[in-house]
Amino acid sequence: MSVEQREALIKAAFEGKHTDGWWRNLTQPLAAKQHTYSPYSKFPVGAALLAADGSIFKGANIENASYGGTICAERTAIVKAVSDGNKSFIALAVVTDVPLAISPCGMCRQVIREFCAADMPILLVPGDYPKPPGDDQEGKPGITAGGVKETSIGELLPDSFGPEQLELPRTGGCVVQPP
Amino acid sequence: MSVEQREALIKAAFEGKHTDGWWRNLTQPLAAKQHTYSPYSKFPVGAALLAADGSIFKGANIENASYGGTICAERTAIVKAVSDGNKSFIALAVVTDVPLAISPCGMCRQVIREFCAADMPILLVPGDYPKPPGDDQEGKPGITAGGVKETSIGELLPDSFGPEQLELPRTGGCVVQPP
Amino acid sequence: MSVEQREALIKAAFEGKHTDGWWRNLTQPLAAKQHTYSPYSKFPVGAALLAADGSIFKGANIENASYGGTICAERTAIVKAVSDGNKSFIALAVVTDVPLAISPCGMCRQVIREFCAADMPILLVPGDYPKPPGDDQEGKPGITAGGVKETSIGELLPDSFGPEQLELPRTGGCVVQPP
Amino acid sequence: MSVEQREALIKAAFEGKHTDGWWRNLTQPLAAKQHTYSPYSKFPVGAALLAADGSIFKGANIENASYGGTICAERTAIVKAVSDGNKSFIALAVVTDVPLAISPCGMCRQVIREFCAADMPILLVPGDYPKPPGDDQEGKPGITAGGVKETSIGELLPDSFGPEQLELPRTGGCVVQPP
Ligand SMILES: [Zn+2]
Ligand SMILES: [Zn+2]
Ligand SMILES: [Zn+2]
Ligand SMILES: [Zn+2]
């Protein structure tokens, strides 16, 4: 991933979330459309997924009155891309309104793991990106320019469950059939 | 919804699914990209959502090795649209590979209900659309031209749970706080 | 279901939720244990499922900081029962803190539909049960003694998706294999 | 956790799954009841959760025709325990029919993380437990007696998302209200 691609991906993650943040305030007119739908948690999240062909898919968290129906920003970006025929990815960026690098939840990690390489860069972007040099996050493990934490699904979901496990031989046992 | 919009929406639902079906065989070259990701159920589903501004959002079902991580075609189409800033919709179409009108699952009905009017048309399209005149589905309740079943979230999720319920006054009670 | 079973089931639904309500205030000492875990929605729900062998399984809603990880009271009761080897049920009761009969969400309806007969009684119990005679709910469709709404999964999830649909013949199509 | 508690917990995980396995074959008559409901994946899983008061909660995976409605064995055990008023846990065991230690999916890790300490022992039990001395798993990282892999949610979900993140100060932004 080039420096330009990295910057474009982070910008797209902010645009995915589409609430007031660094990028929009500085460079874009206030848009009429809201992207995140997070009236219950009031915790807006944006994500952006860079596909192998260079296209970027933006996601936001879309909540539901029945909380279990919520789909996070990362999963929104992934189902957008996959349902458009993309299954090869270069990098993922995630941003919230919180001034820290916030990690994906376990559900998103499971969905990322289905489609992304173990070492694909995942950029966790603080809501106040870019943090200035000398910020208190500087020098912490994995923190890179602007306060971004760089990680991967191999790090976030070690010893993961995936398609391979379903193919393993069984020791026996019986399962009930559907009615 | 005009006749042209209806036909475009059904076409988009087939394209969303992107497996061999009526429309693609007749009118489009075989595309290289797959849209549905349904290796576990082998039950491909496509959906298309018509927004108030005329744009159409296509979805497909995206499954996961941990089956609970699956996101259906209808929800994929909705999170695509909402995360692009659209929250006003005209109609939804759903198509499978099964030669019958197949209904959305309860999870999708809950997500549809968050964003769509109770009487918004939902078109359940048989995989062998258009069924010829005289087909055995003809004359069944709600079946219209080509074997499409027309319904709505008001019909599919009667007496629904939604945002309004969360706002109702409570009778009392105490809830545990997070750790 | 006898009158005694009905009353026991409603009592169990209140106990499942285990926040201050009619039954506990009148008849039980304040228990030390909380059952619902709903710190995010602050919307406690209890459920109770009556199995064919007479046993009752109580559920409460168990939420998660990642809202999509939430499991409702109805689903908690069902997975409790099924994972104890019960797959034949007589009735389900649901109660909230709201002074009205509140319906299950679409996700729960889908899970209920997998295990319960279309006409199995589902009792939606107001948080202020029993409502006195002459209450404004009296005479509304499906409202029975004490303000309970009686319904069924056949009514709540009409034209449902279920195991049968997965077994239908396909019209063709190709699906991508897992990596 | 004592050696006796460990053995009881592993036994309970096999019982939770309730398909033919080591323990049942050797020590119990074939029970009439099935616990797992995994007709779609044909991948039965059992879990057992040891609470602080010494009680053990057994879970099995409960699937759904709409795959996204599936609830895994680990989550079943947890919602059972929590909805019975237990929120303090000592250890969790998980077993499948596969002759290897299989890890929880990301969804379960997220739910485990809500209720369990970062260093609470999680025992991943092979379906052919106990593996004999000299088995090819012996000596691998984390593998202990009988081929069990011992891990924890701190290891399985590093840098996790949880209740604390929701409480962090926000950088600003606006969220759309529910309709
Ligand atoms: Zn997530
Ligand atoms: Zn669905
Ligand atoms: Zn529910
Ligand atoms: Zn799981």
Edge to edge, what strands does the sheet with D45-51 contain?
A: D56-60, D45-51, D89-96, D122-125, D148-151, D143-144
Interatomic CA distance for residues C170 and C166, integer angstroms: 9
Q: Can you give the C-alpha Rg of chain A in angstroms?
A: 18
Q: Quick check: is C41 in a domain?
A: yes
Which neighbouring-strand residues pair with D93?
D48, D123
Chain B residue with minimal CA distance to D105?
B66
Chain B residue with minimal CA distance to D70?
B68
- How many interchain CB pairs under 8 A, A with D? 157
Q: Can you give the C-alpha Rg of chain D in angstroms?
A: 18
* DSSP conformational letter for A69: G
Q: Note the pLDDT tens digit of each residue in D148-158.
A: 999 999 999 99
Chain A residue with minimal CA distance to C163?
A178
Residue D66 phi, psi (nearest 5):
-90, 105
Average pLDDT for D131-141: 87
Q: C108: domain range?
A: 3-166
Q: Which of B34, B103, B151 lies closest to C176 in CB terms?
A: B34
Give pLDDT, residue D33.
Answer: 61
Q: Which of B40, B72, B87 lies closest to D66 in CB terms?
A: B72
Q: In Å, how far are C168, D109, D164 from A122, measured between CA atoms?
A: 41, 19, 21
Q: Note the pLDDT tens digit of each residue in A108-122.
A: 999 999 999 999 999
Distance D73 CA to ligand 4 centre (A): 7
Distance C25 CA to ligand 1 centre (A): 39
What ipTM score was computed for the predicted complex, to two decimals? 0.91
Q: How many domains does chain D have?
A: 1
Contact criterion met (CB < 8 Å) for D68 and B163: no
Interatomic CA distance for residues C106 and A64, integer angstroms: 11
In chain B, beta strands by DSSP E: 45-51, 56-60, 89-96, 122-125, 143-144, 148-151
Which neighbouring-strand residues pair with D92?
D49, D122
Contact criterion met (CB < 8 Å) for B72 and D87: no
What band does D19 get if pLDDT is binned at 50, 70 and 90?
Answer: low
* Burial C59-88, CB ≥16 within 10 A → b, else e: bbbbbbbbbbbbbbbbbbbbbbbbbbbbbe
Amino acid at D40: Y
* DSSP conformational letter for D153: H
Q: Note the pLDDT tens digit of each residue in B119-175.
A: 999 999 998 899 998 888 888 889 998 999 999 999 999 999 999 999 888 775 433
* DSSP conformational letter for A142: T
**Chain C: closest CA distance from residue D64 (Å):** 7
Q: Is C42 on the interface with D (CB under 8 A)?
A: no
Comparing C-alpha atoms, which of B121, B107, B122 is closest to residue B160? Answer: B107
Contact criterion met (CB < 8 Å) for B173 and C17: yes
Give the three-class secondary structure for B152: coil
Q: In Å, how far are A114, C52, C66, C122 from C118, measured between CA atoms?
A: 36, 16, 32, 10
Helical spans, DSSP H, in chain B: 3-17, 22-27, 73-83, 106-115, 153-156, 163-166
A interface mutation test: which of B30, B33, B43, B79 has the most A CBs within 10 A? Answer: B79
Ligand with smallest separation from the Cα of D64:
2
Q: Which residues contact C89 (CB under 8 A, 6 or more apart)?
A: C49, C50, C51, C52, C81, C115, C116, C117, C120
Residue B136's CATH number: 3.40.140.10
- The yes-or-no verdict on residue B76 having pLDDT over 50 is yes
| B108 annotated as belonging to a binding site for a ligand | yes
Identify which has the larger pLDDT, B104 or B175.
B104
Q: Quick check: is A172 in a domain?
A: no
Q: Which residues of D are annotated as a binding site?
A: 61-67, 72, 105, 108
Which two structure tokens, joined as six digits, stand for B80?
């695509």
Give pLDDT, residue B179.
Answer: 39
Q: Note the pLDDT tens digit of each residue in C15-69.
A: 888 754 444 443 343 344 678 999 899 899 999 999 999 999 999 999 999 999 9
Contact criterion met (CB < 8 Å) for A174 and D34: yes
Peptide bond into C130 cis (omega under 30): yes
Which neighbouring-strand residues pair with C51?
C89
Residue A144 phi, psi (nearest 5):
-120, -165
Interatomic CA distance for residues A154 and A159, integer angstroms: 8
> What residues pack around ion ligand 4 (CB closer than 5 A)?
D 72, 105, 107-108
Q: Is B171 on the interface with C (CB under 8 A)?
A: yes
Among A4-18, A47-61, B30-44, B103-117, the range scoring the smallest mean pLDDT is: B30-44
Q: Measured on CA atoms in the order A123, A128, A133, A134, is the torsion positive or negative?
A: negative
**Chain C: closest CA distance from residue B53 (Å):** 28
Ligand with smallest separation from the Cα of C73:
3
**Chain A: closest CA distance from residue C105 (Å):** 6
Q: Is C118 on the interface with A (CB under 8 A)?
A: no
